Amino acid sequence: MKSHPEEANNRNQGERNSLLRKALQWRKMNKKYHFTMAHDENLEPLFSFNLNLMNLALVTVASAVVLIVITALLIAFTPLREYIPGYTDNNLERELYVLSRQVDSLSNEMDKKDIYFNNIKMIVEGYPFENDSVTNIDIYTPLSAMKTDTIKLKKSVQDSLLRAEFESENLYGLYDDGNPPQTALKVKNFFVPLNGIVTQSFNAGNRHYGIDIAAPSNRVINATLDGTVIYATWNVDSGYSIGIMHSDNYFSSYKHNAQLLKKEGDFVRAGEAIAILGESGDMSTGPHLHFELWHNGVAVDPATLMSFDSPK
């Protein structure tokens, strides 16, 4: 066994060795290195500096911190963040939301228009319908949940009385032979909407409640009587169409136009230009006008009231 003095000497020697190693490490960390950059040809010094390991570590850490701060500022306050996956511009989300609401509103307005024009068509053709109004359509209803054919609307008392009066007079009955009652017609001075060649005549039995008049494109189509435009629209089958309500319960319809010159609510005079001849709509096979004339809800053959031959 070692004596106590030897153990104390060994312990002291170990402490001295530890302090010596620390001193050597500290001296190594603070040892300065001289860096010089000189010209390649004449070895003239361009610049030089002294650097030790401690300073190098501090410069490295400070540079990393500055780089991190600059990167964070660029991401937070510049548009560069939009190029980083996962980051988006908040303004884009806001604009997308506004545009989405506008599209929904426009779609709902189109649905209302479709119901309105479908009801006009039902009135003209004499078919029963359930939707009398579109004012109760909620603009916030999702489009996927909206079905115009299932909208149930409450009829007013005035509407019910008006319907009862009309139905009692049989104003909406279509006649299979296409010949309306002789007492229904009231003689008027009709203005020919378009002169041309009649390519298809009136035939109520085939549900062709008008006549087709062919003529060169871009001809002007005129109103046959004074009246008010109750619809001016476009649909897949008839293309650009316009309908005018006249006095004495006359109604005229003009389909497959290239362009409409009047809008809903306009009052037009007989012979006034209302559209440009065209061939719009899937049911059109060439430039022509499909012209319908209705009186008291009954389709009338326009050829019995006016001549459509082109003047010689």
Residue ending a domain, choose from 148, 168, 188:
168
Domain containing residue 202: CATH number: 2.70.70.10
Is the same domain home to 207 and 252?
A: yes
pLDDT value at 228 more than 90: yes
232 three-class SS:
strand
Least confident of 11-20, 96-105, 299-308: 11-20
Q: At 60, is the pLDDT very low, low, confident or very high (cuts 50, 70, 90)? A: confident
Is the same domain home to 247 and 283?
A: yes
Quote the mean pLDDT of the chain.
76
Report the b/e string of 266-280 with b at 16+ CB within 10 A: bebebeeebbbbbbb
Residue-range definition of the domain harbouring residue 72:
4-77
Q: At 41, is the pLDDT very low, low, confident or very high (cuts 50, 70, 90)? A: confident
Candidates 171, 170, 158, 104; CA nearest to 132 is 158
Global model pTM greater than 0.95: no
* The pLDDT of residue 231: 93
Q: What is the rounded average pLDDT of the residues 205-225? A: 91
* The pLDDT of residue 173: 43
For residue 35, tell me if it sits in a domain.
Answer: yes
* The pLDDT of residue 178: 45
Q: 199 phi and psi, to 5 degrees?
A: -90, -20
Residue ending a domain, choose from 127, 151, 168:
168
For residue 191, tell me if it sits in a domain.
Answer: no
CB 275 within 8 A of CB 201: no
**What residue has token string 């296409």?**
178
What percent of the chain has a predicted confidence (pLDDT) above 70? 67
Q: At 191, is the pLDDT very low, low, confident or very high (cuts 50, 70, 90)? A: very high
pLDDT value at 310 more than 70: no
* The pLDDT of residue 264: 92
pLDDT value at 158 more than 70: no
Is the same domain home to 230 and 295?
A: yes
Q: What is the rounded average pLDDT of the residues 164-177? A: 48
Report the b/e string of 125-145 with b at 16+ CB within 10 A: eeeeeebebbeebeeeeeeee
* The pLDDT of residue 262: 93
Is the same domain home to 26 and 110?
A: no
Q: Which is higher by pLDDT, 111 or 130? A: 111
Is the same domain home to 33 and 132?
A: no
Is the same domain home to 278 and 209?
A: yes
Is the same domain home to 107 and 62?
A: no
For residue 129, tell me if it sits in a domain.
Answer: yes
Distance between CA atoms of residues 152 and 158, nearest Å: 18
For residue 97, tell me if it sits in a domain.
Answer: no
What percent of the chain has a predicted confidence (pLDDT) above 90? 26
Is the same domain home to 218 and 268?
A: yes
For residue 310, tell me if it sits in a domain.
Answer: no
Q: Structurally, how many domains does the chain consist of? A: 3
Is the same domain home to 202 and 296?
A: yes
pLDDT value at 220 more than 70: yes
Q: At 159, is the pLDDT very low, low, confident or very high (cuts 50, 70, 90)? A: low
Residue ending a domain, choose from 26, 43, 77:
77
For residue 14, tell me if it sits in a domain.
Answer: yes
Is the same domain home to 73 and 112?
A: no
Is the same domain home to 162 and 201?
A: no
Is the same domain home to 205 and 294?
A: yes
For residue 177, tell me if it sits in a domain.
Answer: no
For residue 174, tell me if it sits in a domain.
Answer: no
